[in-house]
Amino acid sequence: MTTPAPDSPGPESPAPDSPAPDVAARAVGLSKIYGTGDTRVAALSEVSVEFAKGEFTAIMGPSGSGKSTLMHCLAGLDDATEGAVFLGDTDLTSLSDKEMTRLRRDRVGFVFQSFNLVPTLTALENITLPSAIAGRSPDAEWLDDVLSRLGLKDRLDHRPGELSGGQQQRVACARALASQPEIIFGDEPTGNLDSRSSGEVLSILRAAVDEFHQTVVIVTHDPRAAAYADRVVFLADGRTVDELRGPTAESVLDRMKQLDEVAAATGNG
């Protein structure tokens, strides 16, 4: 075995500003402060975390721990107070508003709890809208597969107001998946859904990772939803405090209890 020269970093120690090729997104020393003086809230405190390509990660933590803030910063929907966010090798802090808009459109898919569908468009028009804006059409075979798996094929001509909450969320999910973006962010994507619709949404996100090597990051409060992920990252008080690989609903629940006990013992609960 050859020992690398002391000044050659080697593949396992990349320079801090050049992400490994298998990293889809990462936060480096990310802090987000809301307000000032008495109303100052540190929503994130020096969070550094990486999300590997082709992995499904769930972000969990108590209410107010910074999950949505972290996700919004990672997705380029919110600016951090300090630190950097990279999508692949693109430093989001270096982008102009126009470049950021293009990056969100071309490289990122979003599934939010509040659906964000356009009420005047049909389900199919909503699903293909981001691709249409980008001047592309989704891969027909992939789109067909997504629509079948999500049980949407007989609802494509309906407007959001004519669909149930579960169906609307499945439309939002199909919209995020249609253009096969580099990374899909979901902020409580199953938050408003019954267990059947939740299962459908989570299964398709899982399939996007397993079959199409996409990267998925979701925020969830639900240990059963987190169990679909490869990895769970736990936040508390704006910091990453723990992580779990190969989670099951039981192991996630156990870890959440342990973290609650630590928080209670240290007066942070």
Ligand X SMILES: Nc1ncnc2c1ncn2[C@@H]1O[C@H](COP(=O)(O)OP(=O)(O)OP(=O)(O)O)[C@@H](O)[C@H]1O
Given a contact cutoff of 8 angstroms between Cβ atoms, the answer to whether 177 and 109 are in contact is yes
By the rule CB under 6 A, 58 interacts with ligand X: no
**What pairing do the DSSP bridges indicate for beta strands 56-60 and 82-87?**
unpaired
Residues touching ligand X, count (CB under 6 A)? 12
**Longest CA pairwise span in the chain (Å):** 66
**What pairing do the DSSP bridges indicate for beta strands 239-245 and 231-236?**
antiparallel
Q: Which is nearer to ligand X, 78 or 139 (CB)?
A: 78
By the rule CB under 6 A, 43 interacts with ligand X: yes
By the rule CB under 6 A, 36 interacts with ligand X: no
CB of 64 to ligand X, least distance (A): 4
Given a contact cutoff of 8 angstroms between Cβ atoms, the answer to whether 29 and 84 are in contact is yes
By the rule CB under 6 A, 66 interacts with ligand X: yes
By the rule CB under 6 A, 64 interacts with ligand X: yes
Give the alpha-carbon dihedral of 77, 163, 63, 26, to 10 degrees: -30
By the rule CB under 6 A, 69 interacts with ligand X: yes
CB of 241 to ligand X, least distance (A): 12
Segment interacting with ligand X, rule: CB under 6 A, options 20-28, 63-71, 172-180, 260-268 = 63-71
SS3 142: helix
Q: Which is nearer to ligand X, 61 or 76 (CB)?
A: 61
Q: Which is nearer to ligand X, 138 or 223 (CB)?
A: 223
Give the integer Cα–Cα distance in Å for 261 and 227: 22
Binding site for ligand X (CB under 6 A): 34-35, 41, 43, 61, 63-69
